[in-house]
Amino acid sequence: MRTKPLRISCMVSALLLAVALVGCATTGGSSGGYGPPPIAEGKGRLMLEAGGINEVNFYVLDNETGDEVYSETPRSAASSPIGYETGYGSLPQFVDLSPGSYLVVVNTDIEDSVEKEVEIRMGQETYATIPIGRFQLIFFEGTERRQVPFLIYDYNLRTVLGRGMTSTEVRYFIVPTGEYKVRIENLASSGRDEIRPVQVNMGQTQNIMIGETSSPAQPGDESGEGEQP
Amino acid sequence: MKRAMLQSGYAFALLCGLLAMGWGVEAHAEPNSLKATVIDRYGNQHQVERFSYQGRQELEVYIEDQRRIIPLSLIGRIRFDGEHGDEVLAVSMFMRSGKRESGTILSGGGAAPHQDAVGGGSSGRRFTGVTTLGPFFILVNDVREIILRHPEGEGVPKEQILKATIITLEGRRFEVVDLRFRGKQRLDFFRGRNKRFIPLGKVEKIDFDDSGAAEEYRPITATYWNGRTVMGTVNASTVRLSGETDKSFYERVNAALVGKTESGLFTMGMHHIKQIRFHSVEEGEDPTNK
């Protein structure tokens, strides 16, 4: 007779454990404000995996209807003089979508965009790997950084793929992985006409300095300062 | 007996929980089921899965001196000619549709990693994938032939040969086949500051607004075959950019649209066009068969 309540309590415990496991699974450790929020009910999650770049312009097309179901444009155009990095998000970009087949289009700072077909399943996270990378072009005139326009070419220098504007702040240009060339023709002001190769790999950054002045004195250099009498 | 039932009850409850947990946290990446047999210059064969070109499912080649991005899903076999170390290799692509394309591909030659590349720069263009021995990569320079093995049951994607009538602002008409916009069968346009594209194969006509003929961006209205209408602006700039060469300037301004006419190559700039009327074309039709 005593075993009946015990059995019931054991069954209840097991079910509570099951419920707790489900709870852990669906929240994914996001409680407390860290990480992405839980997936919306009846939807699946698309997460962009772009080699550490957590801010790209992208949109999502429904493969069945061709309609645009989501769009995000946090970055300004590469050629915009007011464009600068306002800071990258700490989390990869994501969007919750109804289950189905979609086309994700990531716009870069050149003509070529990156597209991925994804299948979204209810309650699941789908990672779309976006093969893009970034580079930074820093132009010095004397000792100061300047804003100058430049062109992004294919490696063969046959086709202009895009335009950009250097910045006095930190500013990256996002392009599909590959090799390119950038050209700055600034003859009127600085007398420079520079063509530099750019090698963009996923998750890597290339900094290109043009007109860079000599680096500041390092400890141990014979600068005359701090010398002992 | 009762004990056995009780145990099975616990097991069932726990199984439910575990299954629910698995269902809840499961995450998956998009499938890349492309397989390939890669034959290097020494004749060695490598069976590669999750095959890609620098992480991308497309190939950047030059056909008739024009840059083209060709999806690997369209290609059946690729053959590379030329000497090891050449910066540009001749490439022959045997498409799944039966068509053959010849062009050139940049191999990177003997380039060294750039001194400014942060994070371990790599040199040369490469194909990557996975073999039974682990991660695989091979430089384009080292490849002789690639035989792509597409997923079983996947239909052969058909290449559309676009035919269109192009009417200029002056009223001249051109019958063009194999029409492409900057090497692609899609027209990039802007909706506000958002860049979008129109697949030319799904469009009946594109009207260019008169009022914007002298402006950098011309308003357009595209009408799809299904009656849908899309409006936006296209870049029709004729201003020469600082750093542009004569050739690249000419191509950007006067050869935005490229195709073939009966008399030869056809090129036109966006600032000249009044309307493009597309013809419904049989997929895979050879434009040379008149």
Complex ipTM, two decimals? 0.77
pLDDT of A224 strictly over 50: no
pLDDT given for residue B209 in this prediction: 87
Residues of B in contact with A179 (CB under 8 A): 106, 108, 125
Cα gap B211→B229, rounded to integer Å = 20
Kindly list the distances between the CA atom of residue A222 and the CA atoms of A114, A143, B136, in Å, as whole numbers in the listed order: 50, 21, 49
pLDDT of B11 strictly over 60: no
B46 and B130 share a domain?
yes
Q: Inspect the interface and report whether the beta carbons of A204 and B125 lie closer than 8 Å.
A: no
- Residue B30 has its nearest CB partner, among A128, A183, A185, at A128
Per CATH, the number for A132-210 is: 2.60.40.10
Q: What is the pLDDT of residues A99-116, one digit of tens each?
A: 999 999 999 999 889 988
- Residue A176 has its nearest CB partner, among B6, B27, B56, at B56
Residues of A in contact with B195 (CB under 8 A): 57, 107, 113
pLDDT of B22 strictly over 60: no
B188 and B270 share a domain?
yes
Within-domain flag for B167: yes
pLDDT given for residue B221 in this prediction: 95
Q: What is the pLDDT of residues B31-77, one digit of tens each?
A: 567 899 999 999 999 999 999 988 788 898 998 888 888 989 899 99
Q: Inspect the interface and report whether the beta carbons of A107 and B121 lie closer than 8 Å.
A: no
pLDDT of A127 strictly over 60: yes
pLDDT given for residue B290 in this prediction: 40
Q: Inspect the interface and report whether the beta carbons of B125 and A178 lie closer than 8 Å.
A: yes
Q: Whole-angstrom distance between the N-terminal and C-terminal Cα of chain B?
A: 83
Cα gap B207→B185, rounded to integer Å = 17
Within-domain flag for B11: no
Percent of chain A surpassing pLDDT 70: 73
B289's tokens:
């068969």
Residues of B in contact with A129 (CB under 8 A): 29-30, 55
B275 and B184 share a domain?
yes
- Residue B21 has its nearest CB partner, among A22, A76, A107, at A22
- String of DSSP letters for chain A: -THHHHHHHHHHHHHHHHHHHHHHHHHTT-TTS-SPPPPPTT-EEEEEE-TT----EEEEEETTT--EEEEE--SPPTT-TT-------SS--EEEE-SEEEEEEEE-SSS--EEEEEEE-TT-EEEEE--EEEEEEEEEETTEE---EEEEEETTS-SEEEEEE--SS---EEEESEEEEEEEEETTTT-EEEEEEEEE-TT-EEEEEESPPPPPPPTTS--STT---
B140 and B187 share a domain?
no
For residue B231, what are the domain limits? 163-279
Percent of chain B surpassing pLDDT 70: 78
CA distance B27 to chain A (A): 4
Residues of B in contact with A178 (CB under 8 A): 54, 56, 60, 125
Within-domain flag for B216: yes
Within-domain flag for B130: yes
Within-domain flag for B284: no
Q: What is the pLDDT of residues B127-181, one digit of tens each?
A: 999 999 999 999 998 999 999 998 877 777 777 889 999 999 999 999 999 999 9
B216 and B143 share a domain?
no
pTM higher than 0.80 for the full model?
Answer: no
Domain residue limits, chain A = 44-129, 132-210
Within-domain flag for B239: yes
Cα gap B82→B237, rounded to integer Å = 39
B173 and B141 share a domain?
no
Mean pLDDT, to the nearest integer, of A60-76?
Answer: 90
The residue of chain B nearest to residue A20, with distances taken between CA atoms, is: B17
Q: Which CATH number fits domain A44-129: 2.10.109, 3.40.630, 1.10.357, 2.60.40?
A: 2.60.40
B70 and B169 share a domain?
no
10 Å CB burial of residue A121 (0-12, 13-18, 19+) is middle
CA distance B59 to chain A (A): 11
Quote the number of domains for chain B: 2
B138 and B171 share a domain?
no
If one compares A78 and A185, the residue with the highest pLDDT of the two is A185
B184 and B136 share a domain?
no
Q: Inspect the interface and report whether the beta carbons of A25 and B65 lie closer than 8 Å.
A: no
B259 and B169 share a domain?
yes
Which of A175, A182, A183, A181 minimizes the C-alpha distance to A201? Answer: A175
The residue of chain B nearest to residue A154, with distances taken between CA atoms, is: B67
pLDDT of A76 strictly over 90: no
Mean pLDDT, to the nearest integer, of B92-113?
Answer: 81
B144 and B191 share a domain?
no
* Residue ranges of B 72-111 with Cβ closer than 8 A to chain A: 88, 106, 108, 111
Mean of all residue pLDDT scores within chain B: 82
pLDDT of A33 strictly over 70: no
Within-domain flag for B22: no
Which of B100, B98, B55, B78 minimizes the C-alpha distance to B149? Answer: B78
Least confident span in A55-59, A145-149, B96-100, B208-212? B208-212
Asked if B71 reaches chain A (Cβ–Cβ under 8 Å), the answer is no
The residue of chain A nearest to residue B19, with distances taken between CA atoms, is: A22
How many A-B residue pairs are in contact by the CB < 8 A criterion? Answer: 175
B170 and B270 share a domain?
yes
Q: What is the pLDDT of residues B192-208, one digit of tens each?
A: 888 999 999 999 999 99
pLDDT given for residue A189 in this prediction: 74
pLDDT-derived band at B213, boundaries 50, 70, 90: low
Cα gap A104→A61, rounded to integer Å = 6
pLDDT of A216 strictly over 80: no
CA distance A140 to chain B (A): 16
Residues of B in contact with A158 (CB under 8 A): 62, 65, 67, 247-248, 251
pLDDT-derived band at B275, boundaries 50, 70, 90: very high
pLDDT given for residue A87 in this prediction: 56
Strand order in the sheet with A57-62: A68-72, A57-62, A100-107, A114-120
pLDDT given for residue B31 in this prediction: 56
